[in-house]
Amino acid sequence: MREVYLYIIVMALVIYAIRAVPLVLIRGEIKNPFLHSFLHYVPYVTLAALTFPSILTAADTLPGSVAGFVTATVMSLRNRSLLMVAAGACLAAYLTELIVSMVF
Amino acid sequence: MILPMEKTASEFKEGLRDGIPICLGYAAVCFAFGISASEAGLYPIETAIMSILSLTSTGQFAALPLITGSATLFEMAAMQLIINLRYLLMSCALTQRIRPETPVPQRLGIAYGVTDEIFALSVSRKYPLNPAYTYGLTVISALGWSLGGFFGTFAGDILPSNLTSCLGLAIYGMFLKIILSDARENNTVAAIIVITMVISLIFTYAPVLRSISPGFRVIIITIAISAAASLIAPYKEEEGAGA
């Protein structure tokens, strides 16, 4: 067996443990108001921190990334569907880069 | 009346459908990972197995230099623990979205799919989250992820790079949709999002702060802002209007 598989097994075990331990240990609703509120807010903060500013370097150029960011923000605020927002962001970035590369 | 089995099947199908953008985004990202993996000497089948077992982009990218540098298994374990610690917070949050009586095998099943994207879509469901929905998301996403890795390792650079990177925006677009749709109706959530983005920007570029790894950055910001928001504007269930 290649040594690579040892690394792969260790990786898989550690990562799965991180994901599984809270789900198995925390049964039932958390009654403590602070913790309850804390866990309610976690997704918003995590996703916002993952998105920004990373989204500004997601496409190959800044104009493309900004176009994707603005498009996704506007479409989300206008309550477009998930698929539309995802597709809109990609398309806006791609078209902007295409236009910028043709103009300059 | 809807039978439980039918409900489960329809939730699973919905998960599969909502997972399509994740699948495409994952395939593109893991395709890029596969290219790096082949440079690190991995075979396509090894990339595919690693991808399907660990389902994490940062963790896998970080593993490559450790493998080529013949690091110890302990180093690998420690590195993966630090990089992926945010999944611990996500799993904690998920425990409040599923029914308390959800059995352990279901909990172990959900755990496999705790990634940024699958978590994001799972928490966007109305309470209680049906595990079948998360399974649907997980199946199609893991498929895109491992196939992307497999072909990426084979292929080297076939797709033009600007196309693959534009596909990367799909994931961020989804994140924005999920958090902003709640921000429209809730000022606290809106404020939390704006403050988080400003602080995240500062952490990414300010001297000293920027030396914090991205994984830790997300963890620190998540704990600090969620705690601060819970102290300042604690979230309360809207049980009984006006209460």
pLDDT in tens, B21-64: 889 888 887 887 887 788 788 999 999 999 999 998 878 887 88
B243 within some domain = no
Of the partner residues A12, A37, A54, the one whose CB lies closest to the CB of residue B234:
A37
Please compute the mean of the pLDDT values over residues B114-143 and round it to a whole number: 94
Residues B203 and B150 in one domain: no
Rg (CA), chain A: 20
Q: Structurally, how many domains does chain B consist of?
A: 2
Q: What is the pLDDT of residue B161?
A: 67
Q: Which residues of B touch A65 (CB under 8 A)?
A: 169
B104 within some domain = yes
Please compute the mean of the pLDDT values over residues A48-74 and round it to a whole number: 92
How many CB atoms sit inside 10 A of residue B56's CB?
Answer: 25
C-alpha angle with apex B96: B117 to B170, nearest 5 degrees?
Answer: 15
B94 within some domain = yes
Q: What is the pLDDT of residue B158?
A: 61
Q: Domain coordinates of chain A in residue numbers?
A: 4-103
Domain range holding B140? 10-181
C-alpha angle with apex B140: B166 to B193, nearest 5 degrees?
Answer: 55
Quick: pLDDT tens for B209-230: 998 877 678 878 988 999 999 9
Quick: pLDDT tens for B56-86: 887 888 788 788 888 889 888 987 887 788 8
Higher pLDDT pick, A33 / A73: A73
Residues B116 and B71 in one domain: yes
- Straight-line distance from the first to the last Cα atom of chain A, in angstroms, rounded to the nearest whole number: 53
Of the partner residues B91, B180, B226, the one whose CB lies closest to the CB of residue A19:
B91
Residues B72 and B158 in one domain: yes
Higher pLDDT pick, B115 / B35: B115
Residues B144 and B219 in one domain: no
- Chosen domain end from B164, B181, B198: B181
What's the pLDDT band for B240 if we cut at 50, 70, 90?
Answer: very low
Q: Look at the block and give the residue holding tokens 């029914």.
A: B99
For residue B242, pLDDT over 50 is answered with: no
B219 within some domain = yes
Question: B99 is written with which tokens?
Answer: 């029914």
For residue B3, pLDDT over 70 is answered with: no
What's the pLDDT band for B18 if we cut at 50, 70, 90?
Answer: very high
Please compute the mean of the pLDDT values over residues B152-175 and round it to a whole number: 72
User: Left (φ > 0), alpha (ψ -120 to 50) or beta: where does B156 sit?
Assistant: left
Q: Which residues of B touch A53 (CB under 8 A)?
A: 197, 200-201, 204-205
Q: How far is A100 from chain B (nearest CA, A)?
A: 13
Closest CA to B67 of B52, B46, B45, B85: B46
Q: Count residue pairs from A and B with Cβ separation < 8 A.
A: 281
Please compute the mean of the pLDDT values over residues A51-66 and round it to a whole number: 90
B80 within some domain = yes
Residues B177 and B138 in one domain: yes
Q: Look at the block and give the residue holding tokens 């493998």.
A: B67
Residues B44 and B158 in one domain: yes
Percent of chain A surpassing pLDDT 90: 57
Long-range CB pairs of B178-187, under 8 A, 24+ apart, other chains included: B178/A43, B178/A47, B178/A82, B178/B120, B178/B121, B178/B123, B178/B124, B179/A43, B179/A44, B179/A47, B179/A48, B179/A51, B180/A73, B180/A76, B180/A77, B181/A76, B181/A79, B181/B124, B182/A44, B184/A77, B184/A79
Query: Which run of H or of E encompasses A60?
Result: none
C-alpha angle with apex B76: B147 to A13, nearest 5 degrees?
Answer: 60
Average pLDDT, chain A: 90
Please compute the mean of the pLDDT values over residues A75-98 and round it to a whole number: 90
For residue B239, pLDDT over 60 is answered with: no
B205 within some domain = yes
Q: What is the pLDDT of residue B241?
A: 34
| Cβ–Cβ contact B192 with A under 8 A | yes
